[in-house]
Each structure stands twice: as C-alpha cells, then as structure tokens.
Amino acid sequence: MGQTPFQLVYGMEAVMPMEYIVPSLRITVLTWMTNREALEERLAQLEELEEEWFFAGFHWQVQKKREKSWHD
C-alpha cells in the first residue's frame, strides 16, 4: 500500500506527535486554547487523513484480488 502503519493511523510519518504540530482537543482543553484557525486546520487535516484511509483500503482490496487471482 506504500504507507507505514503509523502513517495510516496518524496521517504522517513518525517524526513527532501530531499534537505538537496541531493541537488536539485534549491539548485545547488542557490549555484553554480557543484559536479558531488551529481548529480549522486540524479539521482539514482530519479530512485529508480520512481520504488517505479510503485510498489505503482500496489499495488493500486490489492487492487481495491480485493475490487471489495469482493463487487461482
């Protein structure tokens, strides 16, 4: 599929936790942050991540079909 398991889960390579780049809801609650731009950016990243999950699932299905046809 061309992606690591960490990338599929978090949407990026394992360099540093996502919460340090774009604050999560947990960090927002702990620091009482109400930065609307940061929240909108986080929402955009989550939408992008959902698209990557879809493509990863699609590639997984294609690979399984190839393996099945090869074995049959």
pLDDT in tens, 4-59: 888 888 877 776 655 565 556 666 666 665 677 777 777 788 888 888 888 888 88
Structure confidence at residue 16 (pLDDT): 61
> In terms of residues, how long is the chain?
72
Structure confidence at residue 4 (pLDDT): 81
User: Cα separations (Å) of 5 from 18, 53, 59?
Assistant: 15, 11, 14
Structure confidence at residue 65 (pLDDT): 92
Q: Which residues of 20-54 are buried (b: 16+ CB within 10 A; e: fewer)?
A: eeebeeeebeeeeeeeeeeeeebeeeeeebeeeee
Structure confidence at residue 20 (pLDDT): 60
